[in-house]
């Protein structure tokens, strides 16, 4: 299923009108209550290629009510674990069978290279759903060591209705983390995809129903953040909020919870990942490759992208040369061409933002070592060259703020202590990396780096089996691994007098 089609075939399929453009509520496609729709503008060429239902508060009410009904009826949470597992495994299988369709929707919406959409985004979404399916009949409760006159059972129960609001950088992957874990734990879900990437979620949800998920257990409301997203956040009948996106909006969700029913909130927010390369880096070629892919992949629109290179001054020249060498093979191209390795920026707004940051780097006195310009492989599209700044000083905006574009900022340092200090001098704490051949130095630096994931002599290796999330303003709570299931459950103690 992952064999790739030709560009002509992708173009032919892209010309067919998008089939699913309405809200998915209670197992059916429905129009927004207001009848309104909004445009999908493709970043590949700037053309409008679909119109999608614009859900708002009234639609969120409908979706939450459907989720609540399905939860209270127990059609999912009370079904036998073996049955729920079989349904989710079938769903994973259907995702794989629809890989080309899902991948095309992802690429049309956000401009990812089509081969990444097929081999990474859709494949991981299927893997994630499959993994969560497998947890369902492996979650055991506990018997607590209370006095012998009693029996005390401690179990995990689903929370109820989960509201998930996700961004556009990895629409299917991030949705599959949250929806997969929430459903595996027995909850019902309302998902609001980003307005830039509403399409893949609609097919993703329909496939769940086709796999046997009861109506109402997984609903999708497409629409904008301040309307549909805020309505979900403020809803008094939502029991948990799971959000990935900007730190600014993450803080809104804490406020929405506080101003409504005090529901728990998990947040996966921004990052400014430091990539520390010490003088005794074991393999400069491997480091250069990991650094380039780690910041330019997905055009840098990755929350844990390694955007800050903190490098020993004596090896900076050589490392930057090698990074440029790797970047030569990572130039923006037509996302529908199967050999393209770098696609677009998600939309005009984000394009202007990235170009603005590049301008600010120049204005603040950093030097452009590589790239720094918009590119035009397809007219009208949103493309930026892989860009490297050197002579960056801590505190410059390109060193401080999340850019969400293919921009690396190199800061030269003279020793390990300075490297750790600069690496940690950020409001974020999602990821960090260190390259050294000294075992104890590697451990010491890894301990000192304040981040949810620290890579040593590698970068961006990840798996559904490891927790993912941030320290500091990168958020709270975790996606992936059994730890993520904890976030979608409550502990229930049953105390029995014998
Ligand atoms: P955003 O945080 O505004 O959007 C993410 C999601 O939140 C979308 O579904 C959006 O509709 C929703 N949302 C937006 N405003 C909302 C509100 N007032 N109430 C409820 N929901 C709301 O991110 P945006 O504007 O697309 O990108 C801006 C910057 O955020 C990026 O340049 C990047 O720095 C960062 N970002 C980080 C991401 C991550 O993975 N950590 C993902 C996307 C963006
Ligand atoms: Mg925003």
CB-based contact 10:114 (threshold 8 Å): yes
- pLDDT band at residue 4 under the 50/70/90 scheme: confident
Contact 174, 479 (CB under 8 A): yes
303, 337, 385, 402: the catalytic one is: 303
Of 245, 303, 350, 473, the one to substitute when testing ligand 1's pocket (max ligand atoms within 8 A of C-beta) is: 245
Are β-strands 374-375 and 383-384 bridged in parallel, bridged antiparallel, or unpaired?
A: antiparallel
- Rounded Cα gap, residues 64 and 74, in angstroms: 15
| Residue 1 · residue 97 · CB < 8 Å | yes
Give 245 Cα–ligand 1 centroid separation in angstroms. 4
Against a cut of 0.95, is the pTM above it?
yes
Residue to substitute in 112, 196, 225, 402 for testing ligand 1 pocket (most ligand atoms within 8 angstroms of CB): 225
Distance 146 CA to ligand 1 centre (A): 47
Q: How far is the CA of 437 from the centre of ligand 2 (A)?
A: 41
**Selection from 429, 368, 360 nearest residue 395 by Cα:** 360
Average pLDDT, the chain: 98
User: What digits encode the pLDDT tens for the residues 43-59?
Assistant: 999 999 999 999 999 99
CA of 249 to the centre of ligand 2 (A): 7
Asked if residues 229 and 165 have their Cβ atoms less than 8 Å apart, the reply is yes
Phi, psi of 493 (to 5 degrees): -105, 130
**Above pLDDT 90, what percent of the chain?**
99
- Whether residue 375 contacts residue 327, with contact meaning beta carbons closer than 8 Å, is answered with no
Asked about 268 being catalytic, the answer comes back as yes
Question: What pLDDT does 277 receive?
Answer: 98
Reference 131, options 180, 95, 185, 84; nearest CA is 180
Q: pLDDT tens digits for 152-184?
A: 999 999 999 999 999 999 999 999 999 999 999
Q: Secondary structure of 229-267 in the HEC alphabet? A: HHHHHHCCCCCEEEEECCHHHHHHHHHHHHHCCCCCEEE
138: DSSP letter? G
- pLDDT tens, position by position, 11-33: 999 999 999 999 999 999 999 99
Mutate to test the pocket of ligand 1, among 249, 303, 355 (most ligand atoms within 8 A of CB): 249
Grade residue 422 by pLDDT with cuts at 50, 70 and 90: very high
**225 CB under 6 A from ligand 1?**
yes
Ligand 1 atom nearest 249 alpha carbon: 2
| pLDDT tens-digit readout, 220-261 | 999 999 999 999 999 999 999 999 999 999 999 999 999 999
| CA distances (Å), origin 496, targets 168, 289, 319, 493 | 48, 59, 65, 10
Distance 249 CA to ligand 1 centre (A): 6
Statement: residue 2 has pLDDT above 60: no
Distance CA 283, CA 195 (A): 42
pLDDT digits (tens, 9 = 90+) for 423-477: 999 999 999 999 999 999 999 999 999 999 999 999 999 999 999 999 999 999 9
Ligand 1, closest atom to CA 165?
Answer: 9
């Amino acid at each position: 299923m992952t064999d790739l089609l030709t560009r002509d075939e992708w173009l032919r399929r892209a010309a067919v009108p998008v089939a699913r453009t309405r809200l998915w509520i209670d197992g059916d496609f429905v129009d927004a209550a207001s009848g309104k729709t909004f445009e999908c503008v493709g970043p590949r060429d700037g053309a409008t290629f679909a119109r999608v239902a614009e859900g708002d508060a009234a639609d969120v009410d409908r979706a939450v009510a459907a989720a609540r009904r399905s939860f209270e009826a127990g059609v999912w949470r009370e079904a036998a674990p073996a049955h729920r597992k079989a349904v989710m495994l079938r769903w994973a299988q259907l995702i794989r069978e629809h890989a080309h369709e899902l991948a095309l929707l992802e690429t049309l919406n956000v401009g990812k290279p089509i081969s990444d959409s097929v081999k990474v985004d859709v494949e991981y979404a299927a893997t994630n759903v499959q993994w969560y399916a497998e947890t369902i009949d492996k979650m055991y409760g506990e018997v607590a060591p209370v006095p012998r006159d009693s029996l005390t059972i401690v179990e995990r129960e689903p929370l109820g209705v989960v509201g998930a609001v996700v961004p556009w950088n990895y629409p299917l992957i991030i949705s599959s983390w949250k929806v997969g874990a929430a459903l595996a734990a027995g909850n019902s879900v309302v998902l609001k995809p980003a307005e830039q990437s509403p399409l893949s979620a609609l097919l993703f949800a329909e496939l769940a129903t086709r796999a046997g998920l009861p109506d109402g257990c997984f609903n999708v409301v497409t629409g904008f953040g301040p309307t549909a997203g805020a309505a979900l956040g403020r809803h008094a009948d939502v029991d948990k909020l799971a959000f990935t996106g900007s730190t600014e909006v993450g803080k809104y969700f804490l406020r929405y919870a506080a101003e409504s029913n005090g529901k728990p909130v998990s947040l996966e927010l921004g990052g400014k990942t430091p990539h520390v390369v010490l003088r005794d880096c074991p393999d400069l070629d491997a480091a250069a490759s990991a650094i380039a892919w780690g910041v330019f992949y997905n055009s840098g629109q990755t929350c844990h992208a390694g955007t800050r290179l903190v490098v020993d001054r004596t090896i900076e020249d050589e490392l930057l040369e090698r990074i440029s060498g790797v970047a030569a093979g990572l130039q923006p191209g037509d996302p529908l061409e199967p050999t393209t390795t770098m696609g677009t920026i998600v939309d005009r707004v984000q394009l202007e933002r990235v170009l603005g940051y590049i301008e600010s780097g120049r204005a603040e006195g950093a030097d452009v070592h590589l790239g720094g310009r918009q590119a035009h492989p397809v007219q009208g599209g949103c493309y930026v060259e892989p860009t490297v700044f050197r002579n960056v000083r801590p505190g410059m905006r390109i060193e401080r703020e999340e850019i969400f574009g293919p921009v690396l900022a190199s800061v030269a340092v003279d020793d390990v202590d300075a490297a750790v200090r600069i690496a940690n001098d950020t409001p974020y704490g999602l990821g960090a990396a260190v390259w050294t051949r000294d075992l104890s130095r590697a451990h010491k630096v890894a301990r000192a780096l304040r981040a949810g994931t620290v890579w040593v002599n590698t970068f961006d290796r990840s798996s559904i089996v490891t927790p993912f999330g941030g320290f500091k303003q990168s958020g709270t709570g975790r996606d992936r691994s059994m730890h993520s299931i904890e976030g979608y459950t409550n502990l229930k103690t049953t105390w029995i007098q014998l």
